[in-house]
Amino acid sequence: MKLKLARIAATALALYAGTAGASVAVASSPIRPNQHFIGLINGKHVDAVIYTVCPGPATGRDGPPQGGQTVAVRRVASGGGNTGARAHTIYAPITADTVVALKAYGSPEPIPTSARVPCDGSGTITFTTCPPPQPCGARAEPDNVPVRFVNIAV
């Protein structure tokens, strides 16, 4: 019994030590003004991939993203984007016609399968608090996330 309690205490201490110095928001914390953030595509800020479903020759074509994929934002202490002086929402424009609105950190939202994205190749998703034609708040900065589009229907 003492050994089991010691293991539980050691695990709790390790978890606390691993998060004590963390400067990111916990799951589902609201987006507020003057916060730094990074955009996530399928949980990744670096080496992000959006899988597409484009039967037949896909080069140079657009098609739908595979279902079950997400975009999200994570709050960070510095770097990335900045929400600016008045933001409470961060937008992830998947295409010019398909924009996902994010209201909280740590709350992934689905990438709509109705979007038409490149079947293959690369691009950038710009996470921003001020998509056109909305004005930006003072100090607002976007976070650009490079993305690769990979066709799974070939």
Q: Would 56 be classed as within a structural domain?
A: yes
- Total domains in the fold of the chain: 1
| 91, 73 contact by CB (below 8 A) | no
Q: Would 16 be classed as within a structural domain?
A: no
Q: Would 128 be classed as within a structural domain?
A: yes
pLDDT, position 117: 96
List, for residues 56-98, the tens digit of each pLDDT value.
876 778 999 999 999 999 999 999 999 999 899 999 999 999 9
List, for residues 128-147, the tens digit of each pLDDT value.
999 777 778 889 999 999 99
What average pLDDT does range 87-115 have in this prediction?
96
User: Could you tell me which residues come within 8 angstroms of residue 68 by beta carbon, excluding any fewer than 6 positions away?
Assistant: 110
Residue 16 is classified by DSSP as: H
pLDDT, position 6: 39
Q: Would 9 be classed as within a structural domain?
A: no
**Res. 15: pLDDT tops 50:** no
What residues make up the domain containing 127?
23-151
Q: Would 144 be classed as within a structural domain?
A: yes
CA atoms within 13 A on the CB side of 63: 24
pLDDT, position 23: 41
List, for residues 18-48, the tens digit of each pLDDT value.
333 334 444 589 999 999 999 999 999 999 9
Q: 38: which 2 tokens?
A: 């990074």
Q: Would 6 be classed as within a structural domain?
A: no
Strand positions, DSSP E, the chain:
29-30, 36-41, 48-52, 62-63, 70-76, 81-82, 90-93, 99-102, 104-105, 109-110, 117-118, 121-127, 143-151
What average pLDDT does range 1-5 have in this prediction?
42
Residue identified by tokens 């955009």 is: 39
